[in-house]
Amino acid sequence: MEKDFGFAAHNPLHKALATPWLRELLARLEDRLPVMTPPTSINTTLDKDHETFPIPSANGPRAFVDFTHDNQLAPVIAALGLGDEEHEWVTSLTTPFSGRLTVEKFECGRDEYVRILVNDQPASVSKGSWCSDPTLSHNDQLCPLAAFVEPLKWVDQANEWEKCYSKKEKKDQQSGLSSV
């Protein structure tokens, strides 16, 4: 319950917590630099430069590895829409000690697909909302890249960050008062 209500689907801020990681993921999948529009907790010093934020190039495919704490992994998994539709959070299956989330991009001819592994187990396209069109899936594990990216377009907006501010802080910001 601590992970679910503290960091995952039942925390109303879980998408805001996942935004920086998901912005970088989308940028890599779409072969571009991440959106730097404030507010953000992305490392803008490193992520605004192709030298320090490498993306696939003409030199061939690359592998990207990010490491994080399970407290960050939980909101990412929830924001991706992984798991069953009832939002039943099972920490031992999603963010155990040494939990892993792997996002793979496959190219087959001109078609591009995404497969997600949670702790080495393929995520089902038909369960959860991480693939906007599961009917286009191959063997319930591969989601077309466009159908994976579509439900995540919100990460390039600031809407989820706005939820991080209380009504009092919003009023203070609008009136120019400091809430400190």
Q: What are the tens digits of pLDDT across the range 154-180?
A: 888 777 767 776 555 455 445 454 444
| Among 98, 51, 80, CA closest to 150 | 80
The pTM of this model reads 0.77
In a domain, 177, yes or no: no
pLDDT in the model for residue 87:
55
In a domain, 180, yes or no: no
In a domain, 67, yes or no: yes
Distances (CA, A) of 24 to 28, 91, 97, 172: 6, 24, 24, 32
In a domain, 173, yes or no: no
- CATH number of 16's domain: 3.40.50.1240
Q: What is the pLDDT averaged over residues 107-124?
A: 89
Domain count, the chain: 1
For strands 121-122 and 101-108, give the pairing: unpaired
pLDDT in the model for residue 16:
80
In a domain, 172, yes or no: no
Distance of CA 1 to the CA centre of its chain: 21
Domain that holds residue 27: 2-164
Q: Is residue 144's pLDDT more than 90? A: yes
The first and second tokens of residue 147, run together, are: 């159908």
User: Where residue 46 falls among pLDDT bands split at 50, 70, 90?
Assistant: confident
User: Where residue 118 falls among pLDDT bands split at 50, 70, 90?
Assistant: confident
